[in-house]
Amino acid sequence: MPIRPGDTLPDIELQVMGENGPKKVRTSELFAGKKVVLFAVPGAFTPTCSAAHLPGFVVNADKLRAKGVDSIICTSVNDTFVMDAWGKAHNAEDLVMLADGLGEFAKALDLTQDRTASQMGIRSQRYAMIVNDVTVELLNIDAQGLDQTSAETILDAL
């Protein structure tokens, strides 16, 4: 069963790009004591993710922070180097680009999708969450499009 509002995020070790290369981080460290907007995309550099999903959060980062958000985190089943390059390509320096290279976080949340038919393997579903001190307050999932997971929808929910 997928994670739901009221559930605690699983404590998983993932990676971000540090000053000297990939750096291990735990989800418990990223979310503890903070109000966080977490959004996931099926793949970095993919058309919808690059044209609309990530840019929406970049453009609205200040508005999200003005509503009390401490951190905005983007995750995808991609490696640290890809997530870092994608973030730089979209001026997402104010966001945490969280690499779920093995899909462990997506699996632990039970929010995966099988994209093997299009040569992408097992990926994350497209979702957006509001997380307060490691507890999920809101979870929106989009099977198609960005109606439920856009930055604007999350802004309205805050």
Residue 58 counted as domain residue: yes
pLDDT given at position 81? 97
The 10s digit of each residue's pLDDT in 15-35 is: 999 999 999 999 999 999 999
Residue 23 counted as domain residue: yes
Residue 8 counted as domain residue: no
Domain of 133, in residue numbers: 13-157
How many structural domains are present in the chain?
Answer: 1
Residue 38 counted as domain residue: yes
Per the residue annotation, which of 9, 38, 49, 83 is the catalytic one?
49
Residue 41 counted as domain residue: yes
Mean predicted lDDT score pLDDT of the chain: 95
Mean pLDDT of all residues in 123-128: 92
State how far Cα 139 lies from the chain centre: 12
pLDDT given at position 50? 86
Residue 2 counted as domain residue: no
Helical (H) or strand (E) element with 100: none
Mean pLDDT of all residues in 69-91: 97
The CATH number for 117's domain is: 3.40.30.10
pLDDT given at position 1? 82
Mean pLDDT of all residues in 40-54: 90
| Window from 35-49, 53-67, 72-86 with minimum mean pLDDT | 35-49
Residue 65 counted as domain residue: yes
State how far Cα 50 lies from the chain centre: 13
Residue 31 counted as domain residue: yes
Is 74 known to be catalytic? no
Q: Is the pTM of this model over 0.85?
A: yes
Q: Count other C-beta atoms under 10 Å from residue 82's C-beta.
A: 16
